[in-house]
Structure 1
Amino acid sequence: MSEQRHRPPNPSEPIASFVSTLSFEEIPEDAVRLAERCFVDTVGVTLAGAQTGAGAAAAAIADLGETTVLGRDESASMSDAALANGTAGHGLDFDDVSWGMDGHPSVALVAPALAVGERLDATGRELVTAFVAGFETECAIAAPISPSHYGRGWHPTSTFGVFGAAAVAASLLECSAEETRHALHIAASMASGLKRNFGSMTKPLHAGHAVRSGLTAARLADEGFTADSAAIAGDDGFWDLYAGEEGVDPTAGHELGSEWAILTEGVHVKKYPCCYFTHTSIANVIDLVTEHGIDPESVASIAVHAAGGAVDALAHDDPNTGLEAKFSMPYTVAYGVVTRRVDLAAFEDEHVDDPAVQAVRERVTLELNSDLHYDSHESRLRLETTDGTVYEQVRENPPGIHENPLSIPELRAKYEMCAERALSETDVEASWAALESLREQSSTRELLAHL
């Protein structure tokens, strides 16, 4: 490109050095604990996702092999298990979120960690170390082009997740710094995922594809495969091509190993199995109708005012399927009004046309609040009843944010709700105990025996 501009330095050098040298002992205790919580949550939602549409289909096409497919009786090749587990992990849209990479960080990290970890029989400490290396990598790649990257139409869970998956695999494979650099540059040619496919099975496939591609990139690099040294930051590299209208910010990012994105940017654990941009509004309306005893039949209208990210992502005002309903503000808010909860059952296809929910859905509108930052969680809600009474309520954040996380009993309840769809009561209990104390586990294979 002939245009001269101020570019950020090539990130692959510091990332590769960080990933290839990071040890468990260097990771802050709070980051270790958070990584363990992320494993718990991600494995749980993967077990549930493996039983439904996208996860089951991804497992069905897998070739037989020796790598565990979570929640299934079959084993598969490493690559196919990575695809299946990554897809299942995002299949219910119940996996965690971080604005550090504008998407779902853990689904692209846990699946490759377990796949490679099983092959090598890694310890829990090695899994945690690889996870943190991947998380920091995702955020380092994302920072210079977020959130405009999302606004342009890309799905960051996949486009940044592929780099995280490559870093996880490179860490566990003990790739050198040079091999890790090549893995990241190979991954740059594998990044994909369109927001246009939100509300379909292809959205969770994005996560599975990122896992498989990142794993492939690292394994190739481990075998001596090479890529262009400026594939991320150079002219017509990843950042150039995937940035939005705001371009590449050369000042964005953090110093790897000194600052920890997993702690500063944090991880938000979902309470509801749907798009995160609906969560504050769901909690907001449930609180309001419960406090004031408002019956669904008495709702005349509900106006939800939310940020640009919500308006962009929530494209299905009148959903026809459970997958579309996950990306519908009118549906999720209406379901909350009618049932006072939003759970896995809310997104089963047969429930989407529930007459009571549909009656309220038709009275809910989503409106842009241009005063809010694009990624803001805030929900401003105006509810008017049939007798003309108006209730207005503002809620800044959803339940389970990094600064106010779900309690251990709440996290365990979510894990059990998900895991019991695939495991026996004994294995639910055993797997919870092992994951919750992941750093103490000596064998990935023993851990996976319960999953």
Structure 2
Amino acid sequence: MTMNRRSLIGAAGLALGAPALQMAQAAEGAAPAAAPPTAKAPPPPVTKILAEFIRSSTYDGLPENVRREGVRTFLNWVGVAIGGSHHETLDIAVSALKPFSGPPQAGLFGRTERFDIMNAAFLNGVSSHIFDFDDTHLKTIIHPAGPVASAILAYAEMHPVSGKDFLDALVVGIEVECRIGNMVYPNHYDAGWHITGTCGPFGAAAATAKLMGLDEEKTIFALGLAASQLVGLRESFGSMNKSFNPGRAASNGLFAAILAAKGFTSSEHMIEVRRGWAQTISTKQDWSQITDGLGSHYESALNTYKPFACGIVMHPTIDAAIQTRDEDHVKPEDIRSVDLKVHPLVLELTGKTAPKTGLEGKFSIYHAAAVAFVEGAGGEKQFSDRAVNDPRVVALRQKVHPVVTPGIDAAQVDMTVTLNDGRTLHRHIVHAVGSVEKPMTDAQLDAKFKDLADGVLPAAQAERVLRMCRDLPNLSNAADVTRAGVAGA
């Protein structure tokens, strides 16, 4: 067999090595072979690291501010779960699932029905998100409590746990889901995933594993099984499907921990490996967001609570509209136009120009601005079918003109209101009420709770449930809150 010069050089390269081969190819006039790609540093074993954190956390080891925020998170979650308990969304879900439910193990806030704990976790999770009025971790736009609290409160009805242990598990679950969210946000969210549904199962599994006292290996399995149950796409926003996502995240995480407790195995590196969760669903993986400060810096201390029952990016606009209405005594009929300078995310998430239902209104910056001027509020009543179809609101939302503007943060709005007499009024909101920088007070949270419970529970019963939420660390059984919050209790 004969070899030409190029073949001989190629064969010789096997012995000469890559540098010599490239020199020979250059002398021959051929393009140099591409250098092999630089290998990425292997990720840290974050699944194991998180399992160790879950196992080691104690109530006594939590900083006081973290305990306090955990109680506020729980109170806010119970309030929104009660408030959403008789929405059409939950009525449909209860009717659909009741024939297939297992033993009546756990209750639903604001209702009389009892379900098996898996379905109860799902339904309370749905109820708590229906109004889009639940807590928000602003760094990721995760609604942390829905998946976690729904799962462990259902579990606590079968396996009593103290308020202190419950609060520790709640904080642990929120920490896990938010740190995982930090790791992949915003790329994961930008791709179209509903991050509460995708990160929520980790939080629910972590918190349930904590209450179960699972060893490290089984806790790792619980996290691995949670990784296989991500749920939720942003296309669901504006429909009942959106509240399905945190509800399903709750039951999926609970399901994962229950299986793991019996020895159902998973990969021990399910979050971090090449074909694991993070590298499959996101082009960004910042492992340091999981590991840095774990156990000393708490994401749950950064949780926020909504004064307005809609997407968080609309809150600055509602805040600005209410301030302008009240302080400048503006009537809707006096308005010629409302011009808004906003971040791109505002129109991406809430650009519905002509919502027909209350759920669609939660994703309409046009409706949010208009209803705030007309009714001077932004609660669940302002995002009802009635409000969305109010002729005064419909007329005014046609005068709302949001424009994406460089330099405007997602948490800000620059509003200019032009009146029919030619005057202009200006508001620039840097931090809306309900933000980390301008948080809702305890009194405001209590008022929100009572308003949500109004019409669902008698006032005395609502007050009793509220006090129990405030006293969570001192309860001998956290599930007493559910029992006090069902209809007829």
3-state SS in 1 of match to 2:136: coil
Tell me by how many angstroms 1:35 deviates: 0.5
For structure 2, which runs of at least 5 residues remain unmatched after alignment? Answer: 1-36
3-state SS in 2 of match to 1:121: coil
Query: Which of 387, 393, 396 pairs up with 2:427?
Result: 393
For residues 174 and 228 of structure 1, what CA distance do their matches in structure 2 show?
20
For residues 218 and 338 of structure 1, what CA distance do their matches in structure 2 show?
48
Query: RMSD across aligned C-alpha pairs, in angstroms?
Result: 1.6
Tell me by how many angstroms 1:241 deviates: 2.1
Pick which of 74-83 and 147-156 moved more: 147-156
For residues 264 and 423 of structure 2, what CA distance do their matches in structure 1 show?
67
Query: Which of 60, 65, 70 pairs up with 1:35?
Result: 70
Structure 2 residue 104 is the aligned partner of structure 1 residue 65: yes
Alignment of 1:392-431 (within 5 A): 392-431=426-465
* Kept after mapping to 1: 8 A contact 2:232/2:245: yes
Tell me by how many angstroms 1:83 deviates: 0.7
For residues 289 and 416 of structure 1, what CA distance do their matches in structure 2 show?
25
* Kept after mapping to 1: 8 A contact 2:74/2:469: yes
For residues 328 and 236 of structure 1, what CA distance do their matches in structure 2 show?
37
What is the CA deviation profile of residues 268-305 of structure 1, one whole-angstrom value per residue up to 9, with x for unaligned ones?
11101111111111011111232222221121111222
* Kept after mapping to 1: 8 A contact 2:57/2:172: yes
Query: Which of 45, 50, 75 pairs up with 1:10?
Result: 45
Tell me by how many angstroms 1:328 deviates: 0.5
TM-score computed with the length of structure 1 as normaliser = 0.95
1:388 to 1:81, Cα distance in 2 relative to 1, 3 A: same
**In structure 2, what is the equivalent of residue 295 of structure 1?**
331
3-state SS in 1 of match to 2:224: helix
3-state SS in 2 of match to 1:406: coil
Pick which of 144-153 and 266-275 moved more: 144-153
**In structure 2, what is the equivalent of residue 363 of structure 1?**
399
Structure 2 residue 297 is the aligned partner of structure 1 residue 259: yes
* Kept after mapping to 2: 8 A contact 1:335/1:346: yes
For residues 319 and 294 of structure 1, what CA distance do their matches in structure 2 show?
24
1:298 to 1:191, Cα distance in 2 relative to 1, 3 A: same
Pick which of 340-349 and 76-85 moved more: 340-349
* Kept after mapping to 1: 8 A contact 2:70/2:170: yes
* Kept after mapping to 2: 8 A contact 1:320/1:352: yes
For residues 390 and 321 of structure 1, what CA distance do their matches in structure 2 show?
32
**In structure 2, what is the equivalent of residue 450 of structure 1?**
484
For structure 1, which runs of at least 5 residues remain unmatched after alignment? Answer: none
Larger radius of gyration: 2
1:360 to 1:187, Cα distance in 2 relative to 1, 3 A: same
Alignment of 1:28-427 (within 5 A): 28-60=63-95, 61-62=97-98, 63=101, 65-244=104-283, 247-253=284-290, 254-263=292-301, 266-373=302-409, 376-427=410-461
3-state SS in 2 of match to 1:301: strand
Equivalences, count: 444
For residues 383 and 396 of structure 2, what CA distance do their matches in structure 1 show?
16
What is the CA deviation profile of residues 130-174 of structure 1, one whole-angstrom value per residue up to 9, with x for unaligned ones?
001101101221122112221221111111111111111111111
3-state SS in 1 of match to 2:428: strand
1:233 to 1:445, Cα distance in 2 relative to 1, 3 A: closer
**In structure 1, what is the equivalent of residue 7 of structure 2?**
none
